[in-house]
Structure 1
Amino acid sequence: MTAMHDLPVNSPPAAARRHPLAWVPTLYLAQGLPFYAVALVAGQMFKSMGVPNDQIARWTGAIGLAWAFKALWSPFLELAPSKRLAVVGFQLLGGAALGLVALALQLPGWFALCIALLALVALASSSHDIVADGIYIANLNEREQAAYAGYQGAFFNAAKFLSLGGLLLLAGYLEQHVGTEFAWTTVFALLGGLLALLGLYHLRALPSGPQDKPAGGKARDVAATLVDVIRSFFAKPGIWVAILFIILFRAGEGQIQSIGPLFLRDARALGGLGLSTAEVGFAYGTVGTAAFLAGSVAGGYFTAWLGLRRAMLWLILAVNLPNAVFWYLSEAQPDSLALITGALGVEMFGYGFGFVGVILFIMQVVASGRYQTAHYALGTGFMQLGFVLSKVVSGDIQQALGYRGFFLWVLAAALPVLVLSRVMKLEPGSADAAGHTPRADTSDL
């Protein structure tokens, strides 16, 4: 393990280096598919099968805790002899578990079985994310990380729109023609198959580099490293303000992602828009998809051009202000699908543009120092914790306030992170708590 500290991880051998566009988009598509299968697709399935909003938000949110606590086992993944093969293995396992969800829908006690299998998907996917992010950090320098963060965010979240777009359109069509159960069996079988195919592609597409060196050390040594990783993380100057910022950054987004699609489908008598499964899929799969991808790429280049510190306020505004679209839709309740789709496009562009901010803040500010990859995993774990906490309570808040009051609450939830953005002291490239000059390090995967 210690021998890897001296490797120049941001400069892999020229012969081994692959162009980032050959693997960054597909790697983060594979990272996003299982995440959104748990966070969003499962919710739409449960909605179609009559599960209440609060139960949907609570269970899918609880399963998401796997992403929040993934950093606790991140150093043990260093024992894997090949990080590339570890990524592939987790993708294949996640694909198999998603396929088993399709089978579980045919069995008695389907709800409990689906929750258990989705929990397995979450564990495999969260473990995959640790190693995948390590490969990203190890093979790209700081400027490349900023430039390709747009693609990273775009294709991670493109999985959302592939799921809530194309697959939801398919589910809506099949619900009308062959029934709800078979429709969602088909959707989860396709999700599992796609993730497995991506795993096979990555056998050759992922770069060869220092993260593929043979593992050394023992579990006892890794456990000692984990203690040092956690200690050094919490010893960083200003870390508690940074953690609070990370948790609150997605407070509005987590609630919107949970309740927004359910609002679109709920009956108008209940305050929703009464859209069908297929209509929700159309809205997210057309303008919503294009707007989000454009926003993500633009946000990456915008931040690379302006610098993270100067761009942060604009990124926070971009990810939160467009949530007003949902308040407008709940107030006006328009009948036009074109108008609804266009409004969602505005919200999705802002979300894509601003999401880059929290990713680069964790990567370049919080994770700087000796244990860059493990500290990045800890930072994204806190990000997911904030997402999960907001998601778990979102159903209860929505039922207490109604849709109009809920969407106003979501806008108010953006105020704390705006305040924090003005008082944070950490800067990109700052020294870690021990005074070391930051450098990338793959030994802490």
Structure 2
Amino acid sequence: MTAMNDLIKAAPGAATRHPLAWVPTLYLAQGLPFYAVALVAGLMYKSMGVPNEQIARWTGLLGLAWVFKALWSPFLELARSKRGVVVCFQLAGGLAMAAMALALQLPGWFTASLVLFAIVALASSTHDICADGIYISSLSERQQAAYAGWQGAFFNAAKFLSMGGLVMLAGFLEDRMGPGPAWATVFGLLGALMAGLGLYHLWALPETPASARPQGGACGVAATLIDVIRAFFAKPGIWMAILFIILFRAGEGQIQTIGPLFLRDARAVGGLGLSTAQVGAVYGTAGTIAFLAGSIAGGYFTAALGLKRAMPFLIVAMNLPNAVFWGLGVAQPESLGVIAAGLGVEMFGYGFGFVGVILFIMQVVASGPYQTAHYALGTGFMQLGFVLFKMISGDIQAALGYQAFFLWVLVAALPVLVLSRFVWRESASAS
């Protein structure tokens, strides 16, 4: 670690680099381990015979690392180099994913894989705090809005790189060497990609000034944490804002967990019966293009209209396309082109709308002192909403079946739309 810190300090400064030289790759590196835990793990476990309920429950529990990351965010405020923290945890996450290739060959592979996923989750959630801090500190508020589309696009492009190309590769290899070796290969590649991004960011990332260090060592840091939490909950309308953030992802947390399993499950139980490779194909083609287009368009749309005026459109865009899954469940189409077109509509809306919650946290909830730590708290509550609904999604789907479950997801998305009419009255004004 000391040698790595010396290397990071020696890296040339990047304060004048164009944001497009580092914003896309930074959020690609933020998304890869997140989606490895949140989605790719679920498809791997599905291929290896783990039931839907256990997949949703265990991958949901792993998501708690992103919920509680704010508790150690003040310690990271004291880091001499946010760039250093970002690079170190990118490399640590890459090493843990590479180790998955060995763990999947063990007799106790399930337990070993959960331990390694937990390490990936902790490294990734810690990395995210400083990555977001670099974004906030290096860009003006107008730039934050303008590049939010790129931020969201490449964070979620990691999903489609994983769910598209790498899952297609896993499906190809499953037919030739079996699920265990196939997924070991995929995670070995993911680990190598994360290491490559970490080395690139030694050159590309801007450096930001270190925060002032509190007096008193560990006691001073603890006092800072208490003050961060106190200041966060003293914000005007904070409880309404927290409820809004949690509910924003109510539909998404469920559909993003069960949707891929629905595509894989047999038609006899209400699924579409796609292979692993076919799931990768539909997410990696129409889904990729549609999501990237929606994310970038959503960022510029919000920058032009303003967050408050744009928010209802963003919420509808993010949640209404979930009706696509209900339609697929009812129609049970056999054409891969029809399925891909439906998912393209769904993913354009999701990409367009995801910008809303990110900018709401960044510009409304995280404004003022302790900007980085308060953004981490806000995104922690955002992740809590995702995790809570993810964890129960498997049990709800098992009880209702796929068609009724997708109707429930549409209903679960309505409260945040209603709440959006009131949250602005309670919270600090958005820019």
Does the CA-based 8 Å contact 1:365-1:427 persist in structure 2? no
Distance 1:15 1:105, change over 3 A: closer
CA positional deviation for 1:274: 0.1
State the SS of the aligned residue for 2:424: coil
Kept in 2, the 8 Å contact 1:250–1:387? The answer is yes
Q: Could you tell me which amino acid in structure 1 is paired with residue 350 of structure 2?
A: Y
Cα distance in 2, alignment partners of residues 156 and 16 from structure 1: 22
- Hey, which bits of structure 1, 4+ residues long, moved more than 3 A? 213-217, 426-431
Partner residue, 1:337: 336
* 2:316 alignment partner in structure 1: 317
Are 1:193 and 2:192 counterparts?
yes
Amino acid aligned to 2:236: P
**Displacement after TM superposition at 1:79 (Å):** 3.1
SS at match of 1:425: helix
Query: What is the deviation of 1:180?
Result: 1.2
Paired with 1:427 and 1:164, the residues of 2 have a C-alpha distance of 39
For residue 54 of structure 1, what is the aligned residue in structure 2?
53
Alignment partner of 1:421 is 2:413: no
1:227 matched residue in structure 2: 226
Q: How far is the alpha carbon of 1:18 from its aligned partner?
A: 1.5
Deviation at 1:427, TM superposition (A): 8.2
For residue 340 of structure 1, give the secondary structure of its aligned residue in structure 2: helix
What's the offset of the Cα at 1:430? Answer: 4.0
Specify the alignment match of 1:163 in structure 2. 162
Paired with 1:161 and 1:69, the residues of 2 have a C-alpha distance of 26
Given that 1:82 and 1:214 are in contact with CA atoms closer than 8 Å, whether structure 2 keeps it comes out as no
1:98 alignment partner in structure 2: 97
Instruction: Say if 1:92 and 1:199, in contact at 8 Å, map to a contact too.
Output: yes
Deviation readout 1:314-367 (Å, 9 max, x if unpaired): 000000000000000000000000000000000000000000000000000011
1:219 CA displacement: 2.3
The residue aligned with 1:360 is 359
- SS, match of residue 210 in structure 1: coil
Distance 1:144 1:428, change over 3 A: farther
The residue type equivalent to 1:332 in the other structure is: A
Aligned to 2:371: 372
SS at match of 1:396: helix
CA distance in 2, matches of 1:36, 1:44: 11
Aligned to 2:292: 293
Q: Is the 8 A contact 1:167 1:281 kept in 2?
A: yes
Q: 1:92 to 1:154 in 2, by over 3 A?
A: same
Q: Which deviates the most, 172-181 or 58-67? A: 172-181
For structure 2, the 5+ residue unaligned runs are 1-12
User: Quick one: distance in 2 between partners of 1:406 and 1:412?
Assistant: 10
Q: Secondary structure at the match of 1:158?
A: helix
User: Which residue identity lines up with residue 36 of structure 2 in the other structure?
Assistant: A
Residue aligning to 2:106 = 107
Aligned pairs for 1:127-138 (under 5 A) are 127-138=126-137
TM-score (norm 2): 0.95
In 2 relative to 1, CA 280–361 (structure 1 residues): closer, same or farther, beyond 3 Å? same
> Does the Cα contact within 8 Å between 2:237 and 2:428 map onto a contact in 1?
no
Provide closer, same or farther for how the CA distance between residues 207 and 90 of structure 1 changes in structure 2, counting only shifts above 3 A. Answer: same
- Cα 1:206–1:428, aligned 2, differ >3 Å: closer, same or farther? farther
SS at match of 1:369: coil
Partner of 1:3: none
Q: In 2, Cα distance between the equivalents of 1:283 and 1:366?
A: 36
What one-letter code is carried by the residue in structure 2 that aligns with 1:229? V
d(CA) in 2 for partners of 1:387, 1:298: 24
Partner of 2:207: 208
Say what the alpha-carbon RMSD is for the aligned residues: 1.6
Equivalent-residue separation in structure 2 for 1:152 and 1:78 (angstroms): 22
- 2:408 is aligned to 409
1:244-266 C-alpha deviation (Å, 9 max, x unpaired)? 00000000001001000000000
Shift of 1:214: 8.8
Q: CA deviation at 1:102?
A: 1.3
Tell me how far apart the structure 1 counterparts of residues 15 and 34 of structure 2 sit (CA, whole Å): 30
- Which residue identity does 1:292 align to in structure 2? F
Cα distance per residue 1:156-214 (max 9 Å; x no partner): 00000000000011001001112111110000001111011100100110012324x79
TM-score calculated relative to the size of structure 1: 0.92
**Equivalent residue for 2:382?**
383
Tell me if the contact between 1:29 and 1:156 (Cα under 8 Å) persists in the aligned partners: yes
Provide the C-alpha distance between the structure 2 equivalents of 1:180 and 1:108, rounded to a whole number of angstroms.
14
Where 1:31 maps in the other structure, the secondary structure is: helix
CA shift, 1:108, in A, is 1.2
Whole-angstrom distance in 1 between the partners of 2:429 and 2:18: 29
- Aligned residue in 2 for 1:150: 149
CA contact (8 A) 1:17 1:209 kept: no
- Pair 50,347 (structure 1): closer, same or farther in 2 beyond 3 Å: same
Partner Cα distance (1:193, 1:215) in 2: 35
Q: How many residues in Structure 1 have an aligned counterpart in Structure 2? A: 418
Cα distance in 2 between the residues matched to 1:93 and 1:87: 10
Structure 1 stretches lacking a partner, 5+ long: 1-13, 432-437, 439-445
Query: Which aligned pairs between 1:248-263 and structure 2 lie closer than 5 A?
Result: 248-263=247-262
Distance 1:148 1:299, change over 3 A: same
